[in-house]
Structure 1
Amino acid sequence: MTVVVVASNIAVQYPFEPFGLADWLTWGAFTYPLSFFVTDLTNRQIGARGARLVVYVGFFVAVILSALLAEPRIAAASGLAFLVGQLLDVTVFNRLRRQSWWRAPLVASALGSVVDTAVFFTAAFALTGLPWLGWAAGDLAVKLIFALGLLAPFRLFIAYARQPRAA
């Protein structure tokens, strides 16, 4: 979790130049969605309490490292957005966990992503003159695509984790 968040806090400072998307995406859009994947796998395997612990530890370590490796406003905005978005993800996932296998990770990641994106981009880039509204829209679109795309690996991991192991 810490690696994903720190890498994302560094990557979000760089616009995604290929295909003329610098006004719509940063490199962080391609790393941060993995944090929801990690949270959901943790929640599925060890429950909401364990997932919250991963979020709190990830938050603490990532904020400290991000403060050293990224701009202070990015580190602060990231910490706030991470905590709010991930805890929402854990709560929603836990409420939906007994429904279809795909519903909890998809809905929890989508709602967590919306909140995380709104909090982060507003706190990090409002009043900077940077094209942050475009970045927020692009970032959210990528997060939602990842939420869908990571359903197959989520299902495979859960099936693999449930198989009994030889001693």
Structure 2
Amino acid sequence: MTVSAPGLGRPALTPTILIALYALSILLANLTLNKFIPLPVFGLLSVGTIFFAAVFTLRDRIHRAGGVPAVLVAIALALLVNTVAAVLLGTPLRFVGASFLAILVGELADTGVYQRLIHRSWWTRVLASNAVSVPLDSVLFTLLAFYGDMSSREITEIIFADIVAKYAIAALFALRVRQGTPRAAA
């Protein structure tokens, strides 16, 4: 069933569709996590970061559309799909473990902050929850996945570039979502 977004004349995405997009974004991020783009000033950016940045706003939309139970289903589905895909593709166990732990910890932390601020504005919820989850996810994943294989400088560059890119891309997604949301629903 598709529901129209109030006052917009276009269909709103159901929690089920949002959950599928969320799991797909994390899958694409994990499939490209060890491919890097060198950026001037910012250092190395994982291609996976580009996909993963959408996850933060998708999860916030799932939270708004279906509440905490829908978010927990999304996190569980993403963890399951990504773990199975990684094992089938022969992804090194350190990447599988790093991804699993970073997603679990980062997403649950974000959900907790978002839920505590549920009666605040959309922007307050999104910015505060991302302020916690983005660095937590970036630091945890990068250290677990690359420590010992890359220099401290490269790891620092990856963490810095990931955080900057995730904030920028998540802000663009959030702005797009916010522009499509009637003022009363925000």
TM-score (ref. length: structure 2): 0.77
Equivalent pairs: percent with the same residue?
22
Out of 141, 154, 166, the residue aligned to residue 164 of structure 2 is 141
Structure 1: gaps (5+ residues) = 163-167
Out of 25, 49, 52, the residue aligned to residue 72 of structure 2 is 52
Deviation at 1:26, TM superposition (A): 1.6
Any idea what the Cα deviations from partners look like across 1:36-85, whole Å, max 9, x if unmatched? 11110000111112111211111111121123333322121011100110
Q: Which has the higher strand share?
A: 2
Q: How many residues align?
A: 160
Deviation at 1:22, TM superposition (A): 9.1
Q: Pairwise CA RMSD of aligned residues? A: 2.1
Distance 1:78 1:156, change over 3 A: same
Write the distance in 1 (CA, Å) between the matches of 2:171 and 2:92: 31
Aligned twin of 2:138? 117
1:39 has 2:62 as partner: no
Aligned twin of 2:26? 5
Write the distance in 2 (CA, Å) between the matches of 1:125 and 1:50: 32
Q: Which moved more, 1:104-113 or 1:76-85?
A: 104-113
1:89 has 2:121 as partner: no
Does the CA contact (< 8 Å) of 1:85 and 1:115 recur in 2? yes
Does the CA contact (< 8 Å) of 2:27 and 2:78 recur in 1? no
Structure 2: gaps (5+ residues) = 1-21
Write the distance in 2 (CA, Å) between the matches of 1:15 and 1:21: 15
Out of 18, 26, 30, the residue aligned to residue 46 of structure 2 is 26
Does the CA contact (< 8 Å) of 2:110 and 2:130 recur in 1? yes
Q: Secondary structure at the match of 2:182?
A: helix
Does the CA contact (< 8 Å) of 2:53 and 2:170 recur in 1? yes
Aligned twin of 1:159? 182
